[in-house]
A = this chain, B = another copy of it.
Amino acid sequence: MATGRTHRPATRSRGIPEATVARLPLYLRALTALSERSVPTVSSEELAAAAGVNSAKLRKDFSYLGSYGTRGVGYDVEYLVYQISRELGLTQDWPVVIVGIGNLGAALANYGGFASRGFRVAALIDADPAMKGKPVAGMPVQHTDDLEKIISDNGVHIGVIATPAGAAQQVSERLIAAGVTSILNFAPTVLSVPDGVDVRKVDLSIELQILAFHEQRKAGEEAAAVAGAADDVVTPPPLRADTAAAAAAAAASRKGPDGDVPAVMPA
């Protein structure tokens, strides 16, 4: 080891909490907007409002990066942009490949936000031979056969999977074998990957389902006791014959969903 800088404290990622890391891009975006308007400094209060968080959280987040503010004044916008960019690793350029050039893959390829800061689409890859050579977002689509070569020739470490669910696991394995260690997965599947590989998942239908849950709750607010009274004793599910007994038993002994109090008192 050449310098006195420690190898890394063996703890969590340099001590920056994951929740904080997830918010840094948000701050960065707000700061970039301020920077473009040539605003020289911001207070935690202002910046927090722009990023949609509260100011205590923002100050705590920044405190993990170091003391970059000036008491009584606020934060220097340009300086903070730089520090956060550096912390996120955006001062270097990350080549990424997009695998699966369907509607979504094409949308991603065309998405300006990709190229803007720190990322560069190095290649578009698709399994369909008919796609080969077709230009998408000003770039010829390449065939999956060449995936390994493309990854290593371009030094790609980040891959985006936009294939159908069925292909995703296999694609991830090939990406990883070729040297990719971070994957952004748009396919609706759980990828299983070796340790040391990061996967982030973007799942449209999961997000919608979460919204539906809350939406239902809102609707139930006023309507439940009125229209839902009979509806509340639910129509029994269509049970498979060979498990009906077990399910019936389970149903008979199950508690209501309202917490500790059984809906049907057993004793």
Contacts and interface: CB of A to CB of B under 8 A. Distances in A.
Contacts of A40: 240, 242-243
A204 B161 CA distance: 12
A238 interface: yes
Copies of this chain held together in the complex: 2
A26 B206 contact: yes
A208 interface: yes
Instruction: Assign chain A's interface to a size class.
Output: 35 or more
B217 A256 contact: no
Interface in A18-69: 21-22, 24-26, 28-30, 38, 40-41, 50-52, 64-69
Contacts of A77: 243
Given A5-B232, A202-B202, A218-B181, A239 B66 contact: no
Contacts of A238: 78, 82
B70 A250 contact: yes
Contact of A237 (B82, B107, B188, B207): B82
A225 to B, nearest CB: 5
A265 interface: no
Interface stretch (A6-14, A124-132, A144-152, A170-178): A6-14
Contact of A107 (B9, B107, B118): B107
A211 B182 contact: yes
Contacts of A116: 205
Interface string A186-202: 00101010001010101
B51 A190 contact: yes
Given A103-B110, A158-B208, A3 B232 contact: yes
A79 B7 contact: no
Given A21-B210, A103-B107, A116-B205, 8 more contacts: A3-B225, A25-B210, A38-B240, A50-B190, A66-B254, A66-B256, A79-B239, A114-B205
Return the 7 tightest CB-CB contacts between A and B, nearest first.
A89-B216, A82-B237, A103-B107, A52-B190, A25-B209, A113-B205, A182-B211
